Amino acid sequence: MKGTLRTAGVALLFLVGSLALAIFAAFLLGVPSADLPAVAVLLAVAGGGGGLLALLLIRPAVLGRLGGVRAQLVGADLIGSLLLLGMMLAGARAMFISGHDLSLLLTMLTFAAALSVGFSLLCARPLASRIERAGRNGTDRRRPTWL
């Protein structure tokens, strides 16, 4: 229970920090001040909901069903890509992008997600090997301290 509360606290802090950074960036990039509250609500709802879903999916009990470390790393990347896709879709819907523009956006996001998963497959092999080697040497821990 204590670990779950710590994870929830860290996730909430990360959400609030990310939201503050995004609103500050929006202000610097010239988003009209009148639009900032609506942008903040959109980001909080879409990011909070997507982030909560990602936290549930990335738990060891769920992600551990994928098999080895490499599959888990790729699964975590896929969850992150889907979170990004969801955020972009929420933003596109809020901006009333035309059907044509939305289909182009989805095409680009699909390509970016596929590249991301491919990159994680490429990078996961050496990282998984090092993690598994450390585990065999008895230096692994059951759970990272930040979870």
Q: What's the domain count of the chain? A: 1
Residue 145 counted as domain residue: no
Residue 122 lies in a domain: yes
Query: What's the whole-model pTM score?
Result: 0.57
Q: Note down pLDDT in tens along the chain; length 147 residues.
A: 676 678 778 878 888 888 898 889 888 988 889 988 988 888 888 777 777 777 777 666 776 677 777 777 777 777 778 777 777 877 777 777 777 787 877 788 778 778 877 777 777 777 777 777 887 776 545 555 554
Does 143 fall in a domain? Answer: no
Return all residues near 146 (Cβ < 8 A) that are at least 6 apart. Answer: 10
pLDDT of residue 36: 87
In a domain, 114, yes or no: yes
Q: Please report whether residue 146 resides in a domain.
A: no
Q: Are 94 and 41 in contact (CB under 8 A)?
A: no
Instruction: Note whether residue 144 is domain-resident.
Output: no
| Residue 97 belongs to some domain of the structure | yes
Q: Which domain holds residue 39?
A: 2-136
Q: Quick one: CA torsion of 108, 111, 112, 118, rounded to 10 degrees?
A: 180
pLDDT for 52 equals: 76
What pLDDT shows up at residue 144? Answer: 54
Within 10 angstroms of residue 29's Cβ, the number of other Cβ atoms is: 7
93 lies in some domain? yes
Instruction: Give me the numbers of helices (H) and strands (E) for the chain, helices first please.
Output: 5, 0
Q: Directed axis angle between helix 69-94 and helix 99-136, to 10°?
A: 160
